Amino acid sequence: MAAHQSYNWMLIVLSYLISVLGSYTALQLAVGIPAAHSSRQRTAAILAAGAAMGVGAIWAMHFIAMLACDMGMPVTYDLARTSLSAVLAFAACSLGLGIAGSGSFNWPKLVAAGVCMGLGVAGMHYLGMTAVLMGAFITYDVSIVALSVLIAIVASIAALWLAFNLRGMAQMVGSALVMGIAVCGMHYTGMAAVNLEDNGSQLPAGYAAGLRGDNLGVSIFAVALVLLVVVLVLNHMRQRRREAITI
Amino acid sequence: MIELEMQVLSDRREGLLVELGRIVVAYGFSLMRQRLSQDSRGTWLTMIVRGPADKQLAMEEALATHSRVLSFEAGVAEGRPAMTPAASAPVPAPVTAPAPAPMPSTQGSGPDIHQVESTLPQLARDYPKIYPWLRNLEHAVPADAREASLHLAGRRTGAWVYKRNYAMGAKLNLPDAIKRIGVPALRELATVDWRDGQLLIQNSPLCSPGSQSGCRFYSGYLEGVLGGSVEPQTVFVRNLFCRSHGAASCILEISH
């Protein structure tokens, strides 16, 4: 028997907003990668951008969206897999942004970076889904899963193209909005692929020790707060540097 | 402040001054004079530069390790006006590529560095409303230094605009850089169109009929604003037609 999913629309909007905020922060850090003066600066920019994208835009969005989804039964999350999903997203995004930010911009590099980012988004999602602990089996519609991965890759490529290739508002805001679509589009398409099969309400091992929604809420709030602080500090620093540039 | 005389040997002449001059400027030095000459070993570039003594070693390191530089020598300049490359008789250095057929050939002296340096802060302060300052500069320098001075002012202004507004992002190929950086940047100063690989400037205030030096500022400006945005950094802007010489619009050609 397939269980029914229902959504809290306010949390869906919030999940998109946090993915846009994370993407904005990440891409603003990422476009500074080509301007790095040393390998140390470059590595720092890549890791910071990867963290903002992986943990902020993708991981935090995923768990807000999971909180938005009522699966008709109580759910907890395995801590180790939840953490691992964040690490996976961080690593894949760092790799993708590092590729996009190195040397001059071209299509092969853009596609490689977009594939890394897209697989990072999808990998985080499906690894995060294995962390779900509840009294039902999760199965997937493979064709919709493939579509979700395709959405993540294509939209990531579009977002990276906007971020690295354009200048001005389209670069700053447009790329973040599109990356938000990549993350949310992948997630909600992936959720549409989910079938919940009744297992006789048998709770899996570790259910009681798993993270609950309120624990996740605190973590997500902390991530959002860090992202906001990074955006404000970054904008302030860039404004000061801009003013300091002499003719 | 310290004044240095530096001599560089390179295998190619094209873009050498632009590339090395950019490094000199990046370390806070000003290019006072330069001379290019050719012999069987390659192209010799001699530069007199002035700048902060504490940046001397770093700048020399950057120049000496540049991929275009085959040999590099530097020493403190002793106030002598003559520059003596190690090779054959020196040839005056054009600041950019030679002008094409429709434009009269221009081969003036170098820029009036002092006048340009004193104008630049005004350009930065009032940007993009800079035409009155450019006209002042045009009249304040000797006639034979006018074009080079406007070109230098343009280069410095363009590089400054690039660093302020367009530096964040990947290096682009030249057509994309022109479309996404060069044209939007120049639109702050003039009405421009990018068509068929040529940049049209309509009703340029600097190129009224009878004036002498209008497009040189725009050429330098585009070289400055595009130089940082493309890979490799060498950009040449040629003035094909100019209103000041009777054309309907000013037309510039941009190439690597």
d(CA B188, CA A10) in angstroms, rounded, equals 42
How confident is residue A85, by pLDDT bands cut at 50, 70 and 90?
very high
Helices and strands (H, E) in chain A, number of each type: 9, 6
- The answer to whether A180 and A57 have CB atoms below 8 angstroms apart is yes
Distance of CA A135 to the CA centre of its chain: 27
B210 Rama sector, left if φ>0, alpha if ψ -120 to 50, beta otherwise? left
Contact call for residues B111 and B124 (beta carbons, < 8 A): no
d(CA A120, CA B170): 22
Please name every residue paired with B202 in a beta bridge, in sequence order, or none if there are none. B191
Please judge whether B184 and A167 are an interchain contact, meaning their C-beta atoms are less than 8 angstroms apart: yes
Residue A142 pLDDT = 97
> B122 with B230, same domain?
yes
Range of the domain at B35: 2-76
Option in B157, B163, B172 nearest A245 (CB): B163
Q: Are residues B228 and B121 in the same domain?
A: yes
User: Are B145 and B52 in a shared domain?
Assistant: no
Nearest residue in A to B182, CA atom: A167
Asked if residue B119 has pLDDT above 60, the reply is yes
**Per residue in B14-41, pLDDT tens?**
788 888 888 898 888 888 888 888 776 6
Beta-carbon contacts of residue A10 (< 8 Å; ≥ 6 apart): A68
Q: For A156-185, what is the mean pLDDT?
A: 91
Residues of A in contact with B133 (CB under 8 A): none
CA distances, B23 to each of A237, B29, B43, B60, B111 (Å): 25, 9, 18, 9, 18
Give ipTM to 2 decimals: 0.77
Residue B89 counted as domain residue:
no
**Which span out of A10-14, B225-229, B235-239 was modeled with the highest average pLDDT?**
A10-14
Residues B128 and B246 in one domain: yes
Strand order in the sheet with B236-241: B191-195, B198-202, B250-255, B236-241
Shared-domain flag, residues B25 and B122: no
Q: How far apart are CA A204 and CA A76, in angstroms?
A: 10
Segment A190-219, tens digit of pLDDT: 999 999 988 887 889 889 999 988 778 888
Q: Is A61 helix (H, G, I), strand (E, B) or coil?
A: helix
CATH number, residue B8: 3.30.70.260
Backbone phi and psi for residue A147, each to the nearest 5 degrees, phi listed first: -60, -40
pLDDT at A22 over 60: yes
- Chain A partners within 8 Å of B166 (Cβ): 167
CA–CA separation, A92 vs A119, rounded Å? 7
CATH of the domain at B197: 3.90.1520
* pLDDT the model gives residue A97: 94
pLDDT at B91: 36
- Of the partner residues B123, B170, B176, the one whose CB lies closest to the CB of residue A34: B170
pLDDT tier for residue B101 given thresholds of 50, 70 and 90: very low
Asked if B51 and B118 sit in the same domain, the reply is no
Residues B121 and B69 in one domain: no
Which among B164, B166, B170 is the nearest to A101, CB-wise? B170
Task: Kindly indicate the confidence band of residue B109, based on its pLDDT and cuts at 50, 70 and 90.
Answer: low
Residue A3 pLDDT class (50, 70, 90 cuts): low
Per-residue pLDDT, averaged over A168-183, amounts to 91
Q: How many domains does chain B have?
A: 2
A11-25 average pLDDT score: 94
Distance in Å, alpha carbon of A215 to nearest chain B alpha carbon: 38
Report the alpha-carbon distance of residue B31 to residue A33 in Å, rounded.
30
- What phi and psi values does residue A2 have, to the nearest 5 degrees? -80, 130
**How many C-beta atoms lie closer than 10 Å to residue B134's C-beta?**
23
- Paired sense of beta strands B191-195 and B42-51, if any: unpaired
